Amino acid sequence: MSKVEFIHRFEPSSEPGRPPLLLLHGTGGDEGDLLPLGRELSPGSALLSPRGRVLENGMPRFFRRHAEGRFDEADLELRAHELADFVDWARERHGIAAPFALGFSNGANIASAALMLRPASFAGSVLLRGMVPFVQPPAADLVGKPVLLLSGRADPMVSAANAETLARQLRDRGADVRHEVVAGEHGLTQNDVDLAKAWIAMH
């Protein structure tokens, strides 16, 4: 059993060779939110979908924040390690390979933080509307870790400069980053789905 338990859903793989996906919802979501997206993006993949353990005005999140865009970085670090411990436990229990962490918004931010802090637990990441998690990011060896970052051109929550900084931080640590800016705001578009599906299929 993991040191920290997450309410979660697990769907086993129905197609050998497809990469497992760790699905990380946005603020107010739950363990069921991204399952349809996971099935669409990588049909037949094992899907592991936990619910964030922090509540903000009754809404589940993966870590605390002081205000929009201002993260409680000490809590973020703690929660990222908890998530990686959970992933390690789930890999052993279900016999799956290291998953790609696929996160939206708050889920993308915990995904990038966990990748930097515990790279061995993840194959890579798909970051949908992700932003910089740490003002001073940890040193990390992300060589061989592919990352797809999809940003919205008119996103009111994540500035272009912030998204570009995240991409640079990941590249500086050796990750193979593809950063695409799509027409849209903070919500996902069909273009996001098409880009993510094609990217996952290559990995």
Strands of the sheet containing 146-152, edge to edge, are 8-11, 47-50, 21-24, 100-104, 124-128, 146-152, 176-182
Contact 197, 42 (CB under 8 A): yes
Report CA-CA distances (Å) from 146 to 16, 24, 55, 56, 115. 21, 17, 31, 31, 11
**pLDDT, position 4:** 79
Is residue 166 scored above 70 in pLDDT?
yes
Three-class secondary structure of residue 92 per DSSP:
helix
**pLDDT, position 68:** 86
Nearest by Cα to 116 from 161, 153, 76, 59? 76
* pLDDT tens digits for range 129-163: 999 999 999 999 999 999 999 999 999 999 999 99
Kindly list the catalytic residues. Answer: 105, 155, 186
Confidence class of residue 2 from pLDDT cuts 50, 70 and 90?
low
What is the percent of the chain with per-residue pLDDT over 70, rounded to a whole number?
99
Is residue 1 scored above 70 in pLDDT?
no
Conformation bin of residue 49: beta by default, left when phi > 0, alpha when psi is -120 to 50:
beta
Q: What residue ranges do the domains of the chain occupy? A: 8-201
* pLDDT tens digits for range 109-130: 999 999 999 999 999 999 999 9
- What pTM value is reported for the model? 0.97
Confidence class of residue 192 from pLDDT cuts 50, 70 and 90?
very high
* pLDDT tens digits for range 40-93: 999 999 999 999 999 999 999 999 999 988 999 999 999 999 999 999 999 999
Domain 8-201 coded CATH 3.40.50.1820: yes
> One-letter amino acid identity for 91?
R
